[in-house]
Amino acid sequence: MTRRLRQPAFGVVLIFSLIRVMKSTVTKLLLVVGCLSAHSQSQTVCPEAPHCNDPQHSSIDGSCNNRHNPRWGTANRPYARLVPANYADGISEPAHATSGAPLPSARSLSLTLFGETEMQHPWNTLVSMQFGQFVAHDMSFTADADGIQCCADGKMVPKEVASARCLPIVVPSDDPVMSDEGIECMNLVRTKTTLEDPCQEFGGPAAQQLSSVTAFLDLSVVYGNTVEQSDSLRLHSGGQMQVEERHGKVWPPRHPNGTTTCDLEDDSEACYLTGDVRSNQSPHLTLLHLAFLLEHNRLARELEALNPSWDDGRLFQEARRINIAQYQAIVYYEWLPIYLGAANMRAARVLPDLKQADYATDYDSGVDPTVSNAFATAAFRFFHNLIAGHLDLVAESAQPTGSIRLSDWLNKPSVLEVADNYGSLSRGMISQPHDRPNFHLTPEVKHFLFRQGRSVGVDLKAIDIQRARDHGLATYNEYREHCGLPKVTRWEDFEDLLRPVSSRLLPEQYDSVDDVELAVAGPLERHYGDGMPGETFSCLLLDQFRRTRVGDRFYFENEAVFSRRQLYELRKATMARVLCDNTRGLSEIQRQAFFLVRDDNPVVSCAQLPVVNLIQWRSVATN
C-alpha cells in the first residue's frame, strides 16, 4: 500500500525557508570572520609543499607517492567527495528533510530499523572481522576535538555554553534501555574541517572533513603518520621498533599519557603506544597491532643476519617495505575477496590482471587514492554489523574455557597481561566466528559501547548515522545515482533492495524517499553478487580499494618495487603465518586464519605454513 507523504502547509515551508536563509547568512559571516582571523594569525605556520627527490620507498606521511601531485594520499588532508556535500545551509549545517523539518533521531533509527540478535557466521573467524577494523584504521581517522562535552553524564549541555562543535545524539524519552538510566543524549563532537584549518586550501564554501592518517595501505597504524611520530616509536638500533618485555612476553611500549588515552584504574595498568591511538580499543585489535609490530622486528633481525653491513636506517626501511608488502598481499588476495567477493573485485578491476605479466601494469598517476568521505563514514562501517559481543577464551587444547564481555574491556588492553589471556584470546580470535552480515548489531555496541563501568554506554549505529550527518553525506538516492544505479522513486522500490523487515519500516521513519540516508539504507541492503554488502555500499567499497591500489606507486606488485624473485616470496604471505610467527604460545593454526576449521581448512603445525624466504634480500643475491 502506497504511503501518502505528509505535505507541510505553504506557510510552514516559507518559514523554514526564511530561517534557513537567515541562518545561512549569519553562518557565512561568522565563517568568513573566523577564517580571516585564522589566516591573519602570525603564529600559524603552514607546512611547505613536499620536496620530492623520487624516493625509492614510500614516505611515512604518504607524501611524494605521486610525482605530479605529491600531497595526494597524505595525512591531514580532506576526504574526497564523490557526490557534493549535503548541508542545510550549503556550508556546514547538518541536512534537514526535504520539507525543512529535522531528520529522525539517529538513536530512534537505530532502535527501529536495526535488531540486536547475535547470530554466528558459519565460516568466518573473528580475526577476519577484526582485521577489517585494522584496515579501516590504517586508511582513515577523523580529526576530532578531544575533551569537548556536549552531553555530560547523559544530560544535554545547555546550548548557550556548549561548543559550536557539538552535535549530540538525542535519546528518546521512551528509549527501552537508556531512558531507565536517565540518559537523555549521547556525546558527539563534530569532525575538524577545512573551515577551521587555515592551512587548507578551500575548494568551495562547503566544509570538508579532514583525515589525520595517510590514505594508503601502508601500516601507518604501526609506523605512524609523521616522521616525528615514527622516530619516537623506533629503537634506532638494528632497524627495530621499540618494545617492552614483561612476564616473558613482548609488548608495545607504554603510552606516556595512558590515563587519558585508556580507561585505567591506575598507572600500573597497561596502555600501549603505537602508530595509532585506537590500538587500545579492543583486545583483539591490540593483538593485531602487536602481531604486525613484532613482525617488523622479526624481519629486521633476519635482514641484519643476512646483511651485517646494513645500518639501522636501511634495516628499518627494508623491514618496513616487506611488512607492508605482506600486509597488502593479505588485504587484496586473502581478506577482501571474503567480503567484497572475488568476482565483484575482478569485475571492478580491484585486482590487477596478471595473466600476461609478473607485475601489475595498471598504476595510474592520474588516479587519486584519497579516501572518500562516503567510504570512511558509511560504507566501510558496514563491518560494524559483524562485531561479536563476547570474546572466547580458548586453551592450548583448543577447548573453550570461558569468555569476556566486550564492553568490559574497551580501551582496557591490560586484560591481555592477566593470567594466560594473551594466549587464550589469541586462540579464541582464530576459532570463534564473527556475527552474520545482517541488520542486527550485538547489544554490546548498540547499548553498552564505551560504558566505562557504567550500566549503559553509547550506540555505535546511532553514532554512525549522526557522524554521516556531521560529514554532510549526500542521500542514499544521490549515491545510487553516482554509482549508475536506479534511484528509488516509490517506497515499494525498497522491497527489492532492502531486507524485508527494513523495507516495511523505513516509510514510518522518513516523509520522502529522497530523505533516506546512505548510512541508514546502505547497511540494510541485500547482498550484492558474491560479496556481503549491498550494491550501493559495494560500489563505494570497490571504487575505493581500486583507487587505493592503482593510485599507489609503491603497491607491492608494481614493477620496480620488488624484484621478480622477491615478489614470488611475498606472494606466500598469509595471516596465519603472521600470527604464528608473532604470537607466543601459538604452535598450530588452520591454514586460512580468516576461516573456521573444517575439512578443507585443517589445523596444521606452524612449521607447515609457507614462509617468505628473505634470502632474496641478501645484498649479494642475484635477483
Find cell 621499540 and name the residue: 242
Q: How confident is the model at residue 32, as a pLDDT?
A: 36
Q: How confident is the model at residue 413, as a pLDDT?
A: 96
| Mean of the per-residue pLDDT values of the chain | 91
pLDDT greater than 90 at residue 8: no
Cα–Cα distance between 585 and 250 in angstroms, integer?
A: 12
Residue 265: pLDDT band with limits 50, 70, 90? confident
Cα–Cα distance between 335 and 338 in angstroms, integer?
A: 6
Cα–Cα distance between 539 and 542 in angstroms, integer?
A: 5
Q: Over range 383-398, report the average pLDDT.
A: 95
Output the pTM of the full model.
Answer: 0.92
Q: Over range 421-430, report the average pLDDT.
A: 97
Fold observed for domain 77-144+191-562: Myeloperoxidase, subunit C (1.10.640)
Q: How confident is the model at residue 12, as a pLDDT?
A: 34
pLDDT greater than 60 at residue 2: no
Q: How confident is the model at residue 43, as a pLDDT?
A: 56
| Nearest alpha-carbon partner for 421 in 577, 199, 270 | 270
| C-alpha cell at position 537 | 555500499
Q: How confident is the model at residue 30, as a pLDDT?
A: 37
Helix (H) or strand (E) holding 375: helix 373-377
Cα–Cα distance between 68 and 84 in angstroms, integer?
A: 25
Q: What is the per-residue pLDDT across 172-208, written as a single tens digit (0 to 9) for each?
A: 999 999 999 999 999 999 999 999 887 876 567 899 9
Q: Over range 117-141, report the average pLDDT.
A: 97
Q: How confident is the model at residue 165, as a pLDDT?
A: 93
Residues 6+ apart with CB under 8 A from 113: 439, 502, 505, 506, 509, 520, 524
Q: Where are the domains of the chain?
A: 77-144+191-562
Look at 16-20, 300-304, 496-500 and tell me which has the smallest mean pLDDT: 16-20
Q: What is the largest CA-CA distance in the chain?
A: 82
> Which is the catalytic residue, given 121, 137, 289, 471?
137
35 or 530, which is more confident?
530
Q: How confident is the model at residue 585, as a pLDDT?
A: 84
Q: How confident is the model at residue 453, as a pLDDT?
A: 87
Q: Over range 121-149, report the average pLDDT.
A: 92
Q: How confident is the model at residue 52, as a pLDDT?
A: 87
Look at 243-247, 472-476, 549-553 and tell me which has the smallest mean pLDDT: 243-247
| Nearest alpha-carbon partner for 257 in 273, 241, 246, 276 | 273
Residue set of the binding site: 384
Cα–Cα distance between 468 and 519 in angstroms, integer?
A: 7
Residues 6+ apart with CB under 8 A from 60: 220, 223, 224, 225, 226, 227, 229, 230
Q: How confident is the model at residue 203, as a pLDDT?
A: 66
Cα–Cα distance between 497 and 539 in angstroms, integer?
A: 14
Kindly report the backbone phi and psi dihedral angles of residue 392, in degrees, each rounded to the nearest multiple of 5, phi listed first: -75, 145
Cα–Cα distance list, 435 to 6, 37, 125, 134, 385 (Å) = 38, 50, 9, 17, 7
- Residues of the chain with pLDDT > 90: what percent? 83
44 or 324, which is more confident?
324
Find cell 587548507 and name the residue: 200
Cα–Cα distance between 612 and 329 in angstroms, integer?
A: 12
Q: Is 137 a catalytic residue?
A: yes
Residue set of the binding site for heme b: 384
Cα–Cα distance between 72 and 368 in angstroms, integer?
A: 6
